[in-house]
Chains A and B, each alone.
Chain A
Amino acid sequence: MSGVLHAIVEPGFFADNAVQVALAVGTAVALLCSAVGVFTVIRGQSFAAHAMSDVGATGGSGAVLVGVAPLWGFVAMTVAAATTMEAIGIDRRRGRDLATGIVLAAGFGLAALFLYWDSTTTSISGVTNEILFGEMFALSPGTLPAIIALGTVALAIVAGIYRPLLLSSVNGELAAARGVPARVIGALYLLALAAAVALSCLATGAILSTALLIGPAAAALRFTRRPWRAILAAAATALAACWLGVLLAYDSYYWPPYQHGWPVSFFIVALVFVFYLGARAGTGTLRRRRTV
């Protein structure tokens, strides 16, 4: 928050930097989340993303406790979650239910403990808020290269397996008959998803992390018929939400009730929701017209 404070009181290099970091991280997260998110929605695996963000909270809060940047905690735990899901097979319905009931609750319980220790033993103020809901203006510029590298690698994975991933998302048997190694493709996709969720945890917090992953993709699928257009539309939606969110949060410093700035995460999630409702309303009208 201090960055924004300085930006208003004395416009200068430091203040601009906070906004720049927020915009850069927002851009990386939006691009990765839209490419991965379209596949998450059509594969019906938003559950996997939720599970990853739950254990991501454990990782992020644990990282703060041992004095490491939260990013690495998020990454370590989402990748661990992806590996576990691959091992037990996330397509098994019963497995999902058990995982929801037991493992994820335990993960969040651990996060509660870590966050309590974080806030009582370290001098980092607002750490609970930062892990759970994100604080884009407080991101350290030092992690920016790592964030961009992570986003680039994950995007390259999705681009590399684009066709086999799309075919196996339509139907596993079709893909298998064409010689697609379903397990390898599924595992690589889960790794890309883990990276997307980790970055999203950093931007909008562990609790809100699936907003950027699922919302823009779900909105895009309402009005596009081609896979790559769905990814582009989701990217445009997510970028608009991130950039506008940062801008509005910056402006909100002058807003009531406390003249203290509204959280960026609130604006991003609210904008994603508005975009999704808009897409629903728009395509609803279109579809009715088409059937008449």
Chain B
Amino acid sequence: MSSQADALTVGAVGELLAVAGVGVTIGAQRILDDVSFTIGTGELVGLIGSNGAGKTTLLRVILGLQATSEGEVLLAGSPRAQRAANIGYVPQKFELDADMPVRARDLVALGIDGERYGLPLPSRARRERVSAMLRAVDAEHFADARIGELSGGEQQRVLIAHALIQQPALLLLDEPLANLDLRSEQEVVTLLRRLAREQGIAVLISAHDINPLLPIMDRVVYLAGGHAAVGPTDEVVRADVLSALYGHHVDVLHLHGRVLVVAGPGGERGADLTLAHGPQGAELEVRD
């Protein structure tokens, strides 16, 4: 572990990230309203919400890329403690041209010093550090392929390696499971659990479907209508809590070990439910 990570854990005593009363208004739109939660070192937290609930905005606030209208974000007790170096970030899925002359290995190396000026000097220590990181995410066998030629799951693993090679204290992932097939989804989830344990980092994962994260989450931050409900999964994903959050009645169904959040009858504005048949049967997605 680097000395900066040590300093962080010493200064924080378990509480690494504190989001305190954060509100974001962009134009006339209220995106986030009084969102508060904390994440401790080594904790794995799911940031759950439908599309447009403000998950990406919240992640960008934590990164310092989005200004808040109210409230503040503290990392290890400090408002601007070298965020770029202490937070690893995997953005939402983006298109990569297959002709992009960047190997998986090169993208991970850019995680070390991608922001620095001047030409990189070839260094054995740097190469070995990159190889070790690629091994840690089980990406050695495609390390020399162009990133644009990799599958969605493989790209996620490379992006996770890119985000983790500086040994940040906190890892943020924006919808890392979106558009992945079931097997890749399982691989990424297992990998994140293992990395959180092995490297002692706090992980915040955003997702519109809570189910893939159920086995690995310590706690959940559930976003709806700009508000957040925070706590252990079984205390948050309940009909009464989520009904209060959505502002209308919703039911929480447990079916074959999966959780389905369904808008109940008589909800005044009623959530817009879409029914999709995924590989594990019907999946509900709540949009409001």
Find chain B residues with CB under 8 A from A162 CB. 118-120
Q: Mark A166-205, 1 if CB is under 8 A from B, else 0.
A: 1101110111111110000000000000000000000000
Cross-chain contact B115 with A224 (CB below 8 angstroms): no
B119 touches A226 (CB 8 A): no
A148 to chain B, nearest CB (A): 21
CB pair B99 A163 closer than 8 Å: no
The answer to whether A179 and B118 have CB atoms under 8 Å apart is: no
Within 8 A of B (CB), among A211-254: 220-222, 224-227, 229-230
Q: How many residues of A contact B (CB 8 A)?
A: 32
A161 CA to B99 CA in the complex, in Å?
22
Question: Interface majority SS on B: helix, strand, loop or mixed?
Answer: loop
Chain B, 97-138, CB within 8 A of any chain A CB: 97, 99-103, 106-107, 110-111, 113-120
14 A-B contact pairs sorted by A residue (CB < 8 Å) = A159-B118, A162-B118, A163-B114, A163-B118, A164-B117, A173-B91, A174-B114, A175-B115, A177-B89, A178-B115, A179-B84, A179-B115, A180-B115, A226-B103
Q: Does A42 touch B at the CB level, under 8 Å? A: yes
Is B147 an interface residue when CB atoms closer than 8 A count as contact? Answer: yes
Minimum CB–CB distance for B158 against chain A, Å: 11
The B149-173 residues at the A interface (CB cut-off 8 A) are 159, 162
Cβ of B84 and Cβ of A163 under 8 Å apart?
no
Which residues of A are found within 8 Å of B34, using beta-carbon distances?
none
Contact A175 B114 (CB under 8 A): yes
CA–CA, A230 and B116, complex, Å: 21
Nearest CB of chain A from residue B201's CB, rounded to whole Å: 16
Contact partner of B101 among A161, A164, A180, A230, CB < 8 A? A230
Task: Assess whether A163 is in contact with B116, with CB atoms less than 8 Å apart.
Answer: yes
| A170-B96, A177-B87, A225-B146 known; A164-B114 Cβ under 8 A | yes
Smallest CB separation, A182 vs chain B (Å): 10
Is A29 located at the chain interface by the 8 A CB criterion? no
Is A38 part of the binding interface, using a Cβ–Cβ cutoff of 8 Å? yes
The interface on chain B, measured as residues whose beta carbon lies within 8 A of the other chain's beta carbons, has a size of 34
Q: Tell me which residues across on chain B come within 8 A of A173, comparing CB atoms.
A: 89, 91-92, 94
Question: For residue B147, which residues in chain A have a CB less than 8 angstroms away from its CB?
Answer: 170
* Nearest CB of chain B from residue A170's CB, rounded to whole Å: 6
The residue that B89 contacts in the complex, of A163, A167, A174, A222, with Cβ under 8 A, is: A174
Q: What residues of chain B lie closer than 8 Å to A161, measured between beta carbons?
A: 117
B103 nearest CB across to chain A (Å):
5
Would you call A95 an interface residue if the criterion is a C-beta within 8 Å of the partner chain's C-beta atoms? no
Of chain A, the residue at the smallest CB distance from B83 is A179
Q: Which residues of B contact A169 (CB under 8 A)?
A: 100
Most buried by B among A41, A175, A225, A226: A225
For A38, list chain B residues within 8 Å (CB). Answer: 101
CB-CB < 8 A to B101: which residues of A? 38, 42, 220-221, 224-227, 229-230
